[in-house]
Amino acid sequence: MKIDTKYHGEIHIEEKDIITFANGIPGFLEEKKFLFLPFGEDTGISIMQSVSNAGLAFVVTNPFLFLKEYDFTIDDQVVEQLQLESEKDVTVYVILTVQDPFENTTANMQAPVVLNSKKQLAKQVILTNTSYQTKHSIFEKGKVSAK
């Protein structure tokens, strides 16, 4: 099937690559189908693109590239909803707020996107009782590289 995207133009996708958010995502509850598309080579950045709305795309990344000690617990209800059987099936993303200059970019560490990569199910989880912020700085002052 072909879809229009915000950053990649028109692309051909396979049904098996579509990730389902059963309840949508906060602020976009009607949007339930997304793709994760790489953004550049070896950047560690991807685009979480809505399948039905070309204009709706979020810049995301693996939070552990920037904050190795990032840690949170998923409650049993989320584990059940995502049909998680093993920690190996979990992929975590955080949504970036890209700034100019890029080193001012922040990540929403308070609401990670948790993906069951085996079953293609995902949920944006809102963490409570945490020190993580919605606009968490991901770069140390003076350092631009995440590596």
Where exactly are the structural domains of the chain? 2-137
| pTM attached to this predicted model | 0.91
- pLDDT-derived band at 17 (thresholds 50, 70, 90) equals very high
**DSSP structural state of residue 28:** B
> For residues 27-59, b (16+ Cβ closer than 10 Å) or e, as one string?
eeeeebbbbbbebeeeeebbbbbbbebbebbbb
Lowest mean pLDDT among 17-21, 94-98, 143-147: 143-147
Q: What digits encode the pLDDT tens for the residues 38-90?
A: 998 888 899 999 999 999 999 999 999 989 999 999 999 999 999 999 999 99
CATH class of 2-137: mainly beta
Report the distance separating Cα 67 and Cα 37, nearest Å.
22
